[in-house]
Chain A
Amino acid sequence: MNTQAALVAQGVGKRFVIKKAGRTVVALDDVSIEVKTAALTALVGPDGAGKTTLLRLAAGLMVADTGTMTVLGIDAAIDPQAIQNRISYMPQRFGLYDDLSVQENLDLYADLHAVPHDVRGKRYKRLMEMTDLGRFTSRPAGKLSGGMKQKLGLACTLVRSPELLLLDEPTVGVDPLSRRELWEILEQLVREENLSVLVSTSYMDEAARCAHVAILHDGKVLAQGTPESIRNTAEGLCFAVTPPADEAPRHLQARLLDDDKTVDAVPRGGKVHFVRTRAAVEQDDPDVANLLGTSQAEPVPPTLEDGFMLALRSKVQRDLSSVASVAMSTPTRALKADETVIEVRDLVRTFGDFTAVDRTSFSVSRGEIFGLLGPNGAGKTTTFRMLCGLLPASSGTLRVAGHDLRKARAHARQQIGYVSQKFALYGNLTVDENLKFFGGAYGLSGTHLRERMAAVKSQFELDDSGHAQAGLLPGGFKQRLAMATGLLHAPDILFLDEPTSGADPLARREFWRRITALAEAGTTIVITTHFMEEAEYCDRVVIQDAGKVLALGTPAEIRRQAGETDAQTFDMEQAFIGIVEQNRKASRGGSREAA
């Protein structure tokens, strides 16, 4: 065998039988990958791609149906314990004991791995320095923030230097600042301890930092190799174009994406970044000029995501223009200029002596896409819940669709559609039954309800799945059904709480194509997201941290506030990190002066 590989999977297959539905799900199908020693390998893919299954097979927690999984030269099906003695594994939920303190969690794993006591002192000191948890050693793990839990989970896997480290989506649900810190720790470990790491992620930018990348989709390897090799498949196909001053980037992006010779198009840094098919580029792409109008596209170097999209679209055929055309079935509202539909002034929400939202003010106009961004614990969920009328405000003014939420909450709710992160659907009801129920809850009945159900079903391409049980639908369908229920009563305002978490890039493009079409038809959209690049689709965003508004404006204004110049351009993630860090530094400096 190859001595350079810490892990070799050969033709691995794994299927699960879902007894209730009487069908089998293929989690992995003939997957062959290699993890090199002393390097980072990324397993990229959306939810349901098979990442967790592959990691569990490697950790000896599952046995493959077909193929062989060899870890450190040991067959995982034959002697899993021998593998488990030598590797470390962090499951998605970190595996921490909430009742035990940071120190006790570390001690437990050090005892189990037989780390000698004289080595521990030095090792702990180093781990605490890296993770910045030194001040919290006596705090129960259950009382740590999400980002800190994730770092402690990592520290527990590193009480000794494992021969292979398996991390299952360590950054899911974690804000950009914490994500960046975690990756710095990983890179440092690989550099200093020659650690071999296999990490799964749904973020392309994280995969781009690894030496080797394997892209999983529907249980199959879509592409693998160095980030460069995957990126280079899109060489010469990538362009950037600046839209005219009177056009939002997302309009140009939508037009490009609807064209069947476009592989991908996303708004980025005020421009639109797009990838054309190789066939189109080789024929000098005569159609692109029509799409671009007066603007001029310039070639740009490809990113890993471009290579991924190229590979994905060669496998998955999906006509995105149909998505937009049916999206128009929601009744169009006349757009009055600058009509304010949400007005928030000096909004405060306290829980005991903790201020979750501190004097927040902003307003949203009709047809606007408004984004709420912020690190974990910033107060965006609290703000969001107050806007939907799910949580009363402690003080301040809150007007939604012309109703004072503090007085006429029921009236305001009639104008609001809400899609929660977990998609509040009844799993054992069918698609039609869910729609009927939510329609009834919004007071729709008879012919009107039937008409609206037919409209949203065609809008979200659910026509053929009316009798399917909602709980058994694939993730993307569930999201569409959740959106459909939220729009049944044709609300003025649609609230979306992290709707794209865990969705694959193509599904996210599709989602945003629908959202932009809805906004054009006059529906106001308020959305929270962890994907900073998605802020580019928003007309305006607000960035919160520690309950306070740090920045409010168009994506371009936010980037400028973060210190963007013509010489140095930022993407939204850099801008976000820049603004949050500036503010934290300033407030720390301020408190030091006060002391």
Chain B
Amino acid sequence: MSGGFWRRLLALTRKEVKQLLRDRSNLMMGIALPAILILIFGYGLSFDVKNAPVAVVMEDHSVTANDMIAGLRLSPYLAPTVVNSMHDAERLMLDRKVDAILRLPSDFSRRLGLGDAHVQLILHGSDANTARTIEGYVQSALAQSTVLQGDRAGASPGASVGSVYLEQRLWFNEANTSTWFLVPGLIVLITTLVGAFLTALVMAREWERGTLEALFVTPVRPLEILLAKIIPYFGVGMIGLLMCLLAARFLFDVPIYGSLWLILLVSVFYLFVALGIGLLISAVTKNQFTASQLALVTSFMPALMLSGFIYDLRNMPLAVQVVGRILPATHYMEVLKSLFLAGNLWPVILKNCVILIGYAVVVLAAARLKTRKLIG
């Protein structure tokens, strides 16, 4: 490369950084939007159920039954309200004041003594996810109470004979906190947003405003123009990533089982893929509106819907799964999730890294080929 390369790259990068810092809309999208996303996804969007209202119909007023309810009250996930009749409970359910009805029949304590107790649990099924989660919580709360009572009645262990209880274990997300798997997904989203969307927009702006036309008729080479765009927006993407990591560690207490360095390294690979997509889109469309639409549809939305961020890919129709498997975001998501929640699983890391590097090389080369000093 000629001696002017570094000088021109420095001049262009300096210009890019100044523009980035001065244009408020860039900063909003590069820094403020990721921060807002972190807060929304971290606090607002959670699949956890906390303090779920449950109506408890007590038809049995024995001490045993009351102890059982006390057990429910201790659960941080449930907020039981005791009502007197099934009728009242149904009304609460219809008004959506409660998400579930737990009915202890009048012969509850008697049959519990026989080891054959039955309770009725009615769930509001309109939100199947929540319903299933509440079912699990009620089950485990009741089970704990039964064990407790069995211990207490230690003298007569026969009391709990026949009551089978289930001990649940969740692997890789012991707390079953959805923030734990949302945060890696959030990193994917933010990297995509800055890398592909923002970069496509700023580059398309140069085509649209005709500034590139003037820049072309100088000793500048296309590669220098692209590198000068990549450098600052790479920086912005890394800032977004660091914000996510800090939020993950200190705000949401997400454990990081894998190596932090590996997380950074795979993120660098994916960021290059995203930047390449952004530059390629802008070189093809040369128009801000089309570029933003295209970046949204081809990178951001799939990263949100099809990468396994919210919906598990394996539950999708085959065709959608295939599309999902093609997306670089899916591979980044996979390796990030395993690094966060499972540790350094080398086969997963190596496979996905190779795929991401391959993508980066292809899209960056395509962006370079499409960015030519030609108008029209």
Q: Which residues of A approach B to under 8 Å, CB–CB?
A: 16, 56, 59-63, 80-81, 84-85, 87-97, 99-100, 104, 107-109, 111-114, 140, 153, 156, 166
Contact = CB atoms under 8 A, between A and B. Distances in A.
Interface stretch (B42-50, B210-218, B343-351): B210-218
A89 B214 contact: yes
Given A84-B216, A92-B210, A97 B15 contact: yes
15 contacts: A59-B217, A60-B373, A62-B374, A63-B374, A81-B221, A85-B218, A91-B210, A94-B214, A95-B213, A95-B214, A99-B22, A107-B11, A112-B215, A112-B219, A113-B218
Contacts of A166: 217
A87 B23 contact: no
Nearest to B216: A61
Given A111-B10, A112-B8, A99 B19 contact: yes
A166 B216 CA distance: 13
Majority secondary structure, B binding face:
helix
A301 B210 CA distance: 42
A95 B373 CA distance: 15
Nearest to B212: A95
B375 interface: yes
B152 interface: no
B15 to A, nearest CB: 5
B196 to A, nearest CB: 22
Nearest to A113: B218
Contact of A95 (B11, B18, B22, B210): B210
A90 B217 CA distance: 9
Contacts of B169: none
Given A62-B374, A97-B15, A113-B218, 17 more contacts: A56-B376, A59-B216, A60-B217, A61-B216, A61-B375, A63-B374, A81-B373, A90-B214, A95-B211, A95-B213, A99-B19, A99-B22, A99-B23, A100-B19, A107-B11, A114-B219, A140-B22
Given A81-B221, A84-B218, A96-B211, A114 B15 contact: no
A109 B218 contact: yes
Contacts of A114: 4, 7, 219
Contacts of B374: 61-63
Nearest to B376: A62
B209 interface: yes
Contacts of A16: 376
Contacts of B212: 95
B112 interface: no
Contacts of B373: 60-61, 80-81, 84
B43 to A, nearest CB: 35
A339 B177 CA distance: 82
B117 interface: no
A84 to B, nearest CB: 5
A173 B86 CA distance: 81
B4 A95 contact: no
B217 A89 contact: yes
B366 interface: no
In the A-B complex, the 5 residue pairs with the smallest Cβ-Cβ separation, listed nearest first, are A95-B214, A111-B11, A89-B217, A93-B210, A91-B213
Nearest to A86: B219
A156 B213 CA distance: 13
Nearest to A105: B15
B220 interface: yes
Contacts of B7: 111, 114
A88 B217 contact: yes
Contact of A112 (B11, B18, B211, B376): B11
Contacts of B10: 111
B214 A91 contact: yes
Interface of B: 4, 7-8, 10-12, 15, 18-19, 22-23, 209-221, 373-376
A90 B214 CA distance: 6
Interface centre among B209, B211, B218 (most CB of A within 10 A): B218
B18 A100 contact: yes
Nearest to A58: B217
Nearest to A80: B373
Contacts of B213: 61, 89, 91, 93, 95
B8 to A, nearest CB: 6
Nearest to A85: B219
A518 to B, nearest CB: 37
B286 to A, nearest CB: 13
A95 B376 contact: no
A132 B11 CA distance: 26
A94 B4 CA distance: 24
Contacts of B214: 89-91, 94-96, 153, 156
Given A99-B19, A100-B15, A113 B219 contact: yes
A111 B8 contact: yes
A56 B210 contact: no
A76 to B, nearest CB: 11
Contacts of A94: 210, 214
A159 to B, nearest CB: 10
A56 B209 CA distance: 16
Contacts of A84: 216-219, 373
Contacts of B219: 81, 84-85, 112-114
Nearest to A96: B211
B365 to A, nearest CB: 20
Contacts of A85: 218-219
A112 B224 CA distance: 11
Given A56-B375, A60-B373, A112-B11, A87 B217 contact: yes
A108 B15 contact: yes
A97 B19 contact: yes
A238 B18 CA distance: 58
Contacts of A113: 218-219
Nearest to A104: B18
Contacts of A87: 217
A96 B18 CA distance: 14
Nearest to A98: B209
A100 B11 CA distance: 13
Nearest to B375: A61
A49 B220 CA distance: 30
B215 A95 contact: yes
B40 to A, nearest CB: 30
A154 B140 CA distance: 77
Interface centre among A89, A97, A153 (most CB of B within 10 A): A97
A60 B221 CA distance: 13
A140 B18 CA distance: 12
Contacts of B215: 95, 112
Contacts of A109: 218
A166 B12 CA distance: 23
Nearest to B211: A95
Nearest to A53: B376
Contacts of A93: 209-210, 213
A24 B219 CA distance: 33
A201 B221 CA distance: 30
Nearest to B215: A95
B6 to A, nearest CB: 11
A253 to B, nearest CB: 39
A26 B212 CA distance: 25
A506 B15 CA distance: 45
Interface centre among B4, B211, B214 (most CB of A within 10 A): B214
Nearest to A93: B210
Nearest to B11: A111
A63 B376 CA distance: 10
A527 to B, nearest CB: 30
Nearest to A168: B213
Contacts of B210: 91-95
Nearest to A63: B374
A85 to B, nearest CB: 5
Contacts of A96: 211, 214
Contacts of B221: 81
A97 B211 contact: yes
B201 to A, nearest CB: 14
